[in-house]
Every structure is written in C-alpha cells, then in structure tokens.
Structure 1
Amino acid sequence: MPEIQLGAHTLRSHGVQVARTHMHDWLILLLLVVIEAILNVIEPFHRFVGEDMMTDLRYPLQDNTVPFWAVPMLAIILPFFVIIVYYFIRRDVYDLHHAILGLLFSVLITGVITDAIKDAVGRPRPDFFWRCFPDGKGVFDPVTKDVMCTGVKSVIKEGHKSFPSGHTSWSFAGLGFLALYLSGKIQVFDRRGHVAKLCIVFLPLLVAALVGISRVDDYWHHWQDVFAGALLGITVSSFCYLQFFPPPYDVDGWGPHAYFQMLAESRNGNTIINGSNLQQSELESVRVDGWELSRPNSHDSFDRHTGLRSY
C-alpha cells in the first residue's frame, strides 16, 4: 500500500495524471470558448423600439467605469492568484487542478448563458437613443414608429445587449467562486464565531457588487439587468464549486472531493502519515498500531491533545 504524504501529490508528480483524468472537461471548456466567441459575433435580436419608448432610453452615452479588459482580471486572474498561493502552502495538485477547472467552468458557463440571453432578448440599453441617433435627431418609421437608426452599426448592435449585465454576471461568477473557495479554506463556518472570517469572504462579493453598480451608474444597464446578472453568476458559481468541493460548512469543506477519494482508496492496510499540517478530517479511519486517528463523536473516547481514540 502506498504511503500518504502531505506534499507528495504536487503539480510535478501528479499534474499530468490528474489533467488526463479530466481531459474531456478541458475539451468542453474549449468548446465553451468557441460558443462564447460565436455568440459575440452574431447579431442580437432587434427589439421594437417605438418613438414613445425613447423617453426612458435617453441617458447619456459615456465610457465604462470598469473597462471590459478589467473584468477578466477581477473574475479570473485574481481568483487564480489566490488558488496558486494556496497551492504553494498546501502543495495539493488535486486542489489546484479542480479549483482552476471549477473557476473556468464557472466563468465560461456564465458567459455563454449571459450572451445567449443577450442575443435572444435584445433589450435596448438606457443610452440607446444616442447610440441610434448620435446627432440627436430621431428618425422613425412613419407607420410603425419604430426607430430607423443612423449611428454606427457596431455601436447600435451593442445597444441591443442590455439584459442581463455581462460585467456583473462574470464578476459574480469568478468572485463568487473565490468567496466559496475562501470560505472553505479558512473554515468560516467552524462555529467559533470569528466574524473576521466573514469579512474576508464578503470582500470578493462586495467587489462584484460594485462592478454591477457601476453598470447602472454608467447608464449601460437597467437595474434589472444587473440584478439578473448577479443572480446568474452566483448561481452558476455555486453549482461549479460544489461539483469539485464539499459545501464550505462541511467539516471537510477545506479540500476537494478528489483528495478525499484518494484517501478513501488508501484506507485499507497500514498507512504512514507524514507532515505536521494534516487536517483533522484526513485522519478518519486511518489506523496506526491499534489506534484510530479520527474526529471525535459521542460514542468514542477521544483525546483532544493526541487526536487518538482506542477501540
């Protein structure tokens, strides 16, 4: 039976093996990238916009407070940096691989859903009038009173993509995943009442919320667009996180499912455990010289100092 050693499952020793196990998942990620690119190229549905509807669509056309390039920095690069830092602390390739895979799935699935809905709904942005008529002179069909835009085609196209907010959904997808990841790692639900841990978890969500608010302040989105984007992003990130990790409130919420599966496969026979930073839940059902390393429960005699109980 192979030994279980902390730091023994590193990127160098097991990275290729773990990646090969999830090769189909990486291929699906590439497919999502292609779909996302296609959804950004196709023309969205041009919803009827009558002359009398322009009253609510005359907000000024202005630049983004949070530019487009900054969203991947917040939603992908920042969580990726935190995941890398934790890898150098824990040196667990299972956590590294599944956290990155879950993060990318969270962002890309959210992006595909968001842009698919954008193209299908075609809701005009609050600044649609100035996109449609940059000279300020409205031109409408004499019969239907539908807009007859005179502006730049690409600007008008973007003006039909208000619902839901992509900046918001991407931010909540990536930073929501980061909040769940951090809550598991620092064991925020350990029932010890450390509110400071909650502040750490809420910080990424606050950043995502501020991104969403900026979209309303810049008149690029209605508040309903931002609300729907936030709900979509946090929902998808929760599903993707739980696909690879236990719930943060679980006693094993600090590690990925694959790590505990590896431990479970090594339970039978004598197992040697090295390292001082072994987590409490890793000790379950591992026997050493007639003793069992385990979590305490109501039926066993447990020594809190040694972490041992006898049969």
Structure 2
Amino acid sequence: MADIQLGAHTIRSHGITVARFHMHDWIILVLLGIIDIILNVIEPFHRFVGRDMMTDLRYPLKSNTIPFWAVPMIGIALPVFIIFGIYFKKQNVYDLHNAILGLLFSVLITGVLTDAIKDAAGRPRPDFFWRCFPDGKDFYDNITTSVICHGDKNVIKEGHKSFPSGHSSWSFAGLGFLAWYLAGKIKAFDHKGHMAKLCLVLLPILCASLIAISRVDDYWHHWQDVFAGGFLGLFVASVCYLQFFPPPYDPDGWGPHAYFQLLAESRNEPTLISTNNLSIDPTAIDSMYIQPEGRNYLVSRDSTLLIDEMEAGVGMRMR
C-alpha cells in the first residue's frame, strides 16, 4: 500500500469516527488508571525482616537521580510528542489514534501489573535499614528478631515496594513502544542493511536502560528488581504494539491494522456502472443456459461481455 493514500484521514475528517470506534478502549484505560491509583494507596505486604537480614539492607538512603515526575515525561510525553510530529507529516489520524492508544495501554497495563506485584511481594528496598531506623538506632523483637521500625510511616511503606522496579517497567513500557513504533515508521528491517536506522530504534531502549540502572545506583532497588521491571515493561509494550500495528519487518509495518482494513473495505465496495439507462454491478456474474446439440451447458460470462451484448441489443431495437 502506498504512502500516497495518506493525508485523506485527518483529525478533522475522521477523528470523531475513530474515537467512537474505540470508545470502550478509552473507558478501560480510565479504569486501569483508577486501579493503579488504588494500588498505590493501599498498604503493601510487610515481608518479615529480621536482624540477620539487615546486613544487606543498610545501603544509604539517597534521593532519586531520575525523579518520579520525570518518568511519565520521558516514557509518555516524549513518545506522544514524536507521534504527533509524524502525524503532522503524514496526516493519518488512524496512525495517530492507534499509536497513542497503544502507548497508553502499554504504560497503564504495566503500571497496574507492577504495583500489584509490589504490593503482593513486599520486598524491602536496599536502604530499608535507614527507612526503618532513621536515627541509626535499631530495635528488634526479642523472640522473632523482627524489626520494630520507628521511622516515618510513608517512608517505611515505600521501603516495602522494591520488587519490581516501577521506574524500569514504566520506562521500558513507554520507550519500548516508541522503539517498535520508530522501527515500523522508518522501515528499519527492510533488508537493506542501514545500521543508522537500527541505531535510531535502539536509542529509546538505551535511554530506558540508563533510567533502570540509576535505580540500582541510587540504592532504591536490587538488580533483580530492575531486570524484572524492564522485562515486564518491554514485554507489555511489544504485545500492545502488535495489537495495533503489524510487525516492523512486515511490508505494511509502517501503518496500523485499522488503516489497512479501511482501505480494503473501501476497495471492496461495489460501484455501479451506468450504461445508457441501465445500472450494472461490475462484480455481478451472469449465468445462462445454451443448448448446442441438445445438451445443456452452464456458461458464466463477465459483466464486460454482458454490457457489450446489451448495448448491441438496445441498438438493434432502436433501428
């Protein structure tokens, strides 16, 4: 399918139609957002932390190299900006709508899975000691040797949300989707061997990897948390992308499924051809019986031959 067909489906001409078609998907997105908020409010499982376990949980309590507010800016706002930039060039609202919808599903599904696992696992962060005992004076239960924390409740609550890493999963969900999207748009896998295209596709993955590594450097996560979060985000991003777009190596990998379905339906619509006072469907096939030598044969003739004969018959009657 050629790019020359783009430009006829803009936000003004088809935006409302596309949005209505995916109305239920947008409702599900809102529900996912509400669920994620609830998962962040509820108290996570407080996994047992004993005296002997504190040896591996005494890393210093540091601030975030990548603050929380920066993650949606990098993982959502940046891809949306690029998607809109491509829309202004191609003028294809189907591509714009499905790309943004797929991106948001990728991030929100990842967010719900990440926060649900965080609350259920309750793994302590590497800096849990200083969250539990901010003054450095540790207290333990004499029988179970379990910690008796006297730090800030919200800080302790966050201390039980180490696995998996939310920074990592969100970054790989948003930037991983962007990598898939760019691969399709620039036709990175067109078998022409342009490594510059591949480098451009891997750039969002590199950015997500650096964000994930910062979580280990800040002692907010163990390496297993970062690995699991990155894998989860990239997996969900891949599934969501392929739900809306063909694989990047596909000849039609530059556009969404919905756009090609629209073109196929428009080509299959019957067009009536007017011949004098007759209207004939060109897709129709007429069948008639002829009887040479006393035998019946079923002969199918296409509409072009039928039109010619009908015109000849009309001309004979007019003479």
- In the superposition, the TM-score normalised over structure 1's length comes to 0.85
1:1-311 equivalences under 5 Å are 5-268=5-268
Structure 1 residue ranges (4+ consecutive) displaced by more than 4 angstroms after TM superposition: none
Q: Which runs of 5+ in 1 are unaligned?
A: 272-311
Q: Partners in 1 of 2:118 and 2:84 — Cα distance?
A: 33
Looking at structure 1, the residues matched to 182 and 109 of structure 2 have their Cα atoms a distance apart, in angstroms, of 21
Letter in structure 2 aligned against 1:157: K
1:38 maps to a residue whose letter is: I
- Provide the C-alpha distance between the structure 1 equivalents of 2:47 and 2:120, rounded to a whole number of angstroms: 10
- Percent identity between matched residues is 76
- Shift, 1:7, TM fit: 1.1
Determine the structure 2 residue equivalent to 1:293.
none
Q: Aligned equivalents of 1:140 and 1:227: distance in 2? A: 32
Query: How far did 1:270 drift?
Result: 8.8
Letter in 2 for 1:250: D
CA distance in 2, matches of 1:67, 1:5: 43
SS in 1 for 2:267: coil
Report how many residues are paired.
268
TM-score, structure 2 length as denominator?
0.83
CA distance in 1 between counterparts of 2:49 and 2:235 reads: 31
5+ unaligned residues in a row in structure 2: which ranges? 272-319
- The structure showing larger relative contact order (alpha-carbon pairs under 8 Å, at least 6 residues apart) is 1
Question: C-alpha separation between the residues in 2 aligned to 1:195 and 1:46?
Answer: 48
- Structure with the largest fraction of helix: 2
CA offsets per residue over residues 188-221 of structure 1, 9 Å max, x none? 0000000000110000000000000000000000
Question: How far does residue 269 in structure 1 lie from its aligned partner after superposition?
Answer: 6.4
Task: Please tell me the root mean square deviation across aligned C-alpha atoms, in Å.
Answer: 1.2
CA distance in 2 between partners of 1:268 and 1:220 (Å):
57
The amino acid that maps onto 2:212 is: G
Question: Once the 2 structures are TM-superposed, how far is the Cα of residue 18 of structure 1 from its aligned partner?
Answer: 0.3
SS of equivalent to 1:259? helix
With over 3 angstroms needed to count, the CA separation of the structure-2 counterparts of 1:5 and 1:185, relative to structure 1, is closer
Q: Which secondary structure does the structure 2 equivalent of 1:267 belong to? A: helix
